[in-house]
């Protein structure tokens, strides 16, 4: 079984233009089927505009498909208490499986008090918050907010909050591995290492870095398979995982067991 815990249905200008959300859903389902991916989590953005569908729109467009789940983007600047009330009812009825914070894209540290309401909601229902860490896709992002070490502060002050560090904090993977090792309430997803396919040389470096992280952290409870599709290519990601040469038990935890437990799939 394979669960991809990190995909998007936004419209990306540099990718082939697919204007309708419904067609993008179909494309995701077809891509999953051709890569034997059984379930995907789709992340909504912190912004809503023509390229970025709202969480409500995503729920509507995916509700017929039992193999898709939604994690709702939360913005410290744009979301109101009304939005959080909607998130609460969607988390309650299972249409939303967690929240996502876009640290770095938004110039706010993940431990700022403006996010606390969102975190309290996650704790109340036992769902995770995913947090962007590491490089930002745009030059306008601010890296001090997305550095993985910020997650330590949040994790220590909110021991009941389940936190997923997205992208292993790349390129600060060493910092990510320490935060995950030290804090039992922190997971990490390996999504978004490449735009499109992996370049051969870069893939070799990343295999070494991820192997080092696995070796350092030891137990397999924390690592989650995710691609960042359509930004990263599903095919490349599967061959990347194959190159890690994981033992069966660790591979199963990475590819689906950890995500199944964490997101209650």
Site for Zn ion in 46-85 (CB under 5 A): none
Site for Zn ion in 150-209 (CB under 5 A): none
Report, in Å, the least distance between residue 94 CB and Zn ion: 22
CB-count exposure of residue 139 (10 Å: 0-12, 13-18, 19+): exposed
Among positions 175, 178, 189, 228, the unique one binding Zn ion when judged by CB under 5 A: 228
Query: Of 96 and 246, which has the nearer Cβ to Zn ion?
Result: 96
Q: Which two tokens stand for residue 102?
A: 């876009």
CA dist., res. 71 & res. 102, Å (int): 12
CA dist., res. 2 & res. 173, Å (int): 24
Site for Zn ion in 118-157 (CB under 5 A): none
Report, in Å, the least distance between residue 135 CB and Zn ion: 11
Report, in Å, the least distance between residue 176 CB and Zn ion: 16
Q: Per CB under 5 A, which region of 109-117, 154-162, 204-212, 221-229 contacts Zn ion? A: 221-229
Q: Per CB under 5 A, which region of 96-104, 117-125, 178-186, 225-233 contacts Zn ion? A: 225-233
Q: What is the DSSP letter of 229?
A: B
Query: Of 4 and 228, which has the nearer Cβ to Zn ion?
Result: 228
Q: Which two tokens stand for residue 129?
A: 């918050």
Half-sphere exposure of 129 (CA within 13 A, CB side): 30
User: Within 10 A of 208 (CB to CB), how many other CB atoms are there?
Assistant: 10
Report, in Å, the least distance between residue 130 CB and Zn ion: 9
Q: Per CB under 5 A, which region of 93-101, 118-126, 206-214, 222-230 contacts Zn ion? A: 222-230
Cβ-count burial 149-160 (b if 16+ within 10 Å, e if not): ebbbebbeebee
Dihedral angle sign, alpha carbons of residues 3, 5, 7, 8: positive
Report, in Å, the least distance between residue 9 CB and Zn ion: 11
Query: Of 106 and 228, which has the nearer Cβ to Zn ion?
Result: 228
Query: Of 9 and 127, which has the nearer Cβ to Zn ion?
Result: 9
CB 46 within 8 A of CB 73: yes
Report, in Å, the least distance between residue 232 CB and Zn ion: 9
CA dist., res. 80 & res. 62, Å (int): 24
- Position of minimal CB gap to Zn ion: 228
Q: Which residues of this chain interact with Zn ion, rule CB under 5 A?
A: 228
């Amino acid at each position: 079984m394979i669960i991809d815990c990190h995909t998007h249905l936004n419209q990306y200008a540099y990718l082939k233009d697919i204007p309708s959300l419904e067609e993008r859903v179909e494309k995701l389902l077809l891509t999953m089927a051709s890569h034997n991916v059984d379930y995907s989590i789709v992340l909504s953005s912190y912004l809503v505009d023509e390229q970025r569908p709202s969480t409500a729109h995503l729920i509507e467009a995916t509700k017929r498909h039992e193999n898709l789940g939604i994690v709702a983007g939360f913005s410290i600047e744009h979301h109101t208490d009304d939005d959080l009330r909607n998130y609460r009812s969607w988390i309650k009825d299972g249409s939303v499986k967690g929240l996502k914070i876009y640290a770095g894209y938004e110039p706010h540290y993940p431990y700022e008090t403006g996010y606390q309401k969102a975190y309290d909601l996650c704790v109340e229902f036992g769902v995770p918050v995913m947090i962007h860490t590491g490089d930002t896709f745009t030059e306008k992002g601010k890296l001090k907010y997305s550095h993985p070490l910020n997650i330590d502060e949040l994790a220590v002050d909110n021991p009941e909050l389940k936190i997923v560090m997205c992208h292993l904090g790349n390129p600060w993977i060493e910092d990510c591995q320490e935060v995950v090792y030290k804090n039992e309430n922190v997971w990490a997803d390996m999504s978004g290492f490449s735009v499109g396919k992996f370049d051969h040389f870069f893939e070799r470096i990343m295999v070494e870095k991820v192997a080092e992280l696995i070796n350092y952290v030891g137990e397999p409870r924390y690592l989650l398979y995710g691609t960042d599709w359509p930004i990263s290519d599903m095919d490349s990601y599967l061959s990347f995982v194959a190159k890690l040469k994981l033992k069966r038990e660790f591979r199963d935890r990475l590819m689906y067991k950890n995500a199944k437990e964490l997101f209650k799939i």
